[in-house]
Amino acid sequence: MTSTLQIPFAGAASFALAASVASAQQGAAPAGADPIKSAQSAAPAAVSAKASIVQFDSKGAMTVLRKGTNGWTCMPDAPDTPGPDPMCFDANAGKWAEAWVGHKPPPAGAVGVMYMLEGGTDASNIDPYAKKPTAENAWINTGPHIMVVGSKEILAGYPTGPKPDTAAPYVMWAGTPYAHLMIPVKTP
């Protein structure tokens, strides 16, 4: 059943797969997989246990699998992407991602956090809308990480090149309105 629960991304009619973290979530979980367990694996249990769990189908329709109570939203791994990519995000990160999906400027003064503790689908480090690797688009591999979005100030001093060391914090999509800090983490 598709719900109209007000959560980040609810206004995003299309969640087209562009090789990035947020859009990689389109599609239902593989047969036999537990989408709630998958979604909860993206963040620490203190965050994901009380988060809303949502899933998008191949047409961009959102289904609320569980209504949360803590302001966070989590999404399960997308089966049509090459690697594990469940994610959890707070309301500000949801607004940022919705702006990115809609090709609109991100909201000013809305710093947000996203967790991807299972890692992320690989992406271009220079093109927020790249769909596949090419010789020109600086495709990178990402492991478990946290993203801080919506703050240009936080990016100062971090590497911004097209081929960063993904084992250390770096700026993804530098020079675009969607530049954000990627912080690798080790998971237990």
Q: What is the mean pLDDT of each run of 10 residues along the chain (188 residues)?
A: 37 27 41 84 96 87 93 89 86 94 92 93 85 85 93 95 93 94 85
On whether the CB atoms of residues 128 and 99 are closer than 8 A, the answer is no
Question: What pLDDT is stored for residue 188 in this prediction?
Answer: 56
The domains of the chain are located at 22-184
Rounded Cα–Cα distance for residues 30 and 14 (Å):
20
Question: What pLDDT is stored for residue 24 in this prediction?
Answer: 37
Question: What pLDDT is stored for residue 114 in this prediction?
Answer: 97
Question: What pLDDT is stored for residue 131 in this prediction?
Answer: 81
Tokens representing 182 are 């990627």
Question: What pLDDT is stored for residue 44 in this prediction?
Answer: 96
pTM value is: 0.81
